[in-house]
Structure 1
């Protein structure tokens, strides 16, 4: 059995429990290999960061951004975070809460297209 860092595990559980509506919507379409058979996990730690959704096989991270990603300091933090994740081999795809709520099918197509780019 794999050792679990309890504070990390507890934080991941809290993030999943308190997920915004848009994250819950997208999760319904990503869980249980529902998107073209690809395995996604949510609120997973990668280095010092927790990512909303990750497909480790394709090294693709999907971040669902709401209004809290709009101030200068938040944008700067997101840039540092993205740079770290990219340096560790991940591609970061950012989608807005509004896009998820208004066009989940469009968001899923965007994710699939990003995964196909990773393939080639």
Structure 2
């Protein structure tokens, strides 16, 4: 229940970049795929998930660039991969400066377009 409550708080307090990406994904607007945001998996909460395609999308800010956080993210990615999920990561500045490129990368990674 702890992660569920935390996920609910995170959904209400999205970053600007999460809001931008969510505008592309919500209401099945990305190739009719259903995405959820701030979704608990095990002891982790992922930014976005598409259960139909076993895809997790993570948006990383500068805090993810420290040695400690890189190790944490790698451990988290290994866990998600072990559960059958493919993890796609974007940096905040990619979302801010090249949302169209992010969209195209998602098409390539998820739909093999």
TM-score normalised by L of structure 2? 0.95
Match of 2:8 among 8, 13, 27: 13
Unaligned runs of 5+ in 2: none
Partner residue of 1:58 out of 45, 53, 56: 53
Are residue 37 (structure 1) and residue 12 (structure 2) matched?
no
Q: Is the 8 A contact 2:55 2:86 kept in 1?
A: yes
Q: Distance in 2 between matches of 1:44 and 1:23?
A: 13
The CA deviation at 1:108 is: 1.0
- Which residue, out of 68, 82, 101, partners 1:106? 101
Hey, which bits of structure 1, 4+ residues long, moved more than 3 A?
none
Report the count of equivalent residues.
112
Counterpart of 2:87 (choices 92, 113, 119) is: 92
* Equivalent-residue separation in structure 2 for 1:9 and 1:70 (angstroms): 27
Residue 47 of structure 2 contacts residue 56 of structure 2 at CA under 8 Å; is this kept in 1?
Answer: yes
Separation in 2, partners of 1:35, 1:106: 14
Q: How is 1:72-83 mapped onto 2 (pairs within 5 angstroms)?
A: 72-83=67-78
- In the other structure, the counterpart of 2:23 is 28
The RMSD of aligned alpha carbons is 0.9
CA distance in 1, matches of 2:40, 2:17: 20
Given candidates 99, 112, 115, the residue that maps to 2:110 is: 115
Q: CA deviation at 1:105?
A: 1.1
